[in-house]
Amino acid sequence: MSNTHTASFLVRLAATICVLFTVPASDASESATIVDTGQVIAASHRHAILWDTRSAADYTLGHIPGAVNIGDIGAVLRDENTEDYIALEKIERILGAAGIDPAKEVVVYGDKASPYVYFGLVTLQYLNAANARIYHGGIDDWKSAGQPITNVVTLLPPAELKLTPNPALLVDTAEVVKKLHDPKVQIVDARTPKEYRGEDIRAIRGGHIPGAIPVHYMENWVDPETPGKLEKKLTSNKDGMNLKSREQLQSLYSRLDPDKETIVYCQSGIRASETATILKDLGFKDVKVYDSSWLGYGNTLDAPAENVTFFNVGLLQGKLNAMQKRIDKLEKELAKENVAK
């Protein structure tokens, strides 16, 4: 046998041995919340529910075969003003109509590293999901792996849902304020450094919760600069949005105590969902998402805060007026050009 054939034989033999002695997919996936392409394929073969959390338009352009969709999860399941969950009865109707039953195995996915997908996972966990997982690589990794894409809409049998939320997974503003000086509680701010410092104001006031430890959620990625690089066309793929290794993530959160109650917040609970999920995956025992996050806290003026800055309504109005003048000017110029033609 030639060296080439010998090498080929050994590779095939190693692959066979690997399959024979690998933990069955149903067992291996039991312990993984954040799953990869192979685990999604295995889940699909088990007839798990695949939930595409992207917009209906993106779903229609192409999705994983068998996946269901209710539209953009951030818009469908949240009140557009408060950015809190809509009424439970509405959630039951929406998920039930799509056949998304939290009592069954569900894998959520969307665009790679999207925090909205993590919000979908946390939502299922909040609704006492028995077996929910997240595909971090999402549609991007699926395509990169050469897996099939379809635009055929999947309709699952509707489910009559009567859901009971688990209040232990989320906290509200009153509870956060109450626990500010509790030595057994630690708070993580998953927003950008500018938001944390009060330079980027997204509520009545800017700043951060006293004692909060800032770790921007994109720091969980191999290269947090990837979105900017994609925009500037400095890279052609989203590989930089892969999660860091477990050791790197442990180092990133080394200031935290895994045994303490950990509250994670951002602007409205979306980005916090990604960080909270990763902390749980790292073994943190009691992780909660502050659902209203800074939108709720920043607008509660008697809640203690640090690096406080206030929203300048007059400055914004001035900018809007200036913008409107430019728009009016452009419209007049276009009108003159049309007349001239």
pLDDT reading at 307 higher than 70 = yes
For residues 55 and 4, which has the higher predicted lDDT (pLDDT)? Answer: 55
Mean of the per-residue pLDDT values of the chain: 90
Q: Give residue 315's pLDDT.
A: 63
User: For residue 234, what pLDDT is reported?
Assistant: 97
- Residue 116 shares a structural domain with residue 222: no
pLDDT at 1 over 70: no
User: What is the number of domains present in the chain?
Assistant: 3
- Residue 126 domain flag: yes
Section 82-97 average pLDDT = 96
At residue 153, what are phi and psi to the nearest 5 degrees?
A: -70, 130
Helix, strand, coil percentages for the chain (3-state, nearest 5):
45, 15, 40
pLDDT value of residue 31: 63
Helix (H) or strand (E) holding 134: strand 131-135
CA distances to 209, 225, 234 from 114, in Å: 25, 15, 20
Band of residue 314 on the pLDDT scale cut at 50, 70, 90: low
CB 238 within 8 A of CB 230: yes
* Encoded tokens for 159: 């489910």
Please indicate, yes or no, whether residues 35 and 159 belong to a single structural domain of this protein. Answer: yes
**pTM (2 decimals)?**
0.84
34 compared with 130, residue with greater pLDDT:
34
Give me the percent of the chain exceeding a pLDDT of 90.
80
Q: What is the pLDDT of residue 20?
A: 32
Beta bridge partners of 105: 131
Domain membership of residue 223 as a residue range: 168-310
Domain holding 157: CATH number?
A: 3.40.250.10
Give 260-272 pLDDT, tens digit per residue: 999 999 999 999 9
Concatenating the DSSP letter of every residue in 13-52 gives: HHHHHHHHHSPPHHHHGGG-SEE-HHHHHHHHHTTPEEEE
In the chain, the amino acid numbered 283 is G
Q: For residue 278, how far is the Cα from the chain centroid?
A: 11
Percentage of residues in the chain having pLDDT higher than 70: 89
Structure token pair of residue 150: 């379809």
pLDDT digits (tens, 9 = 90+) for 156-177: 999 999 999 999 999 999 999 9
Last residue of a domain, one of 140, 165, 190: 165
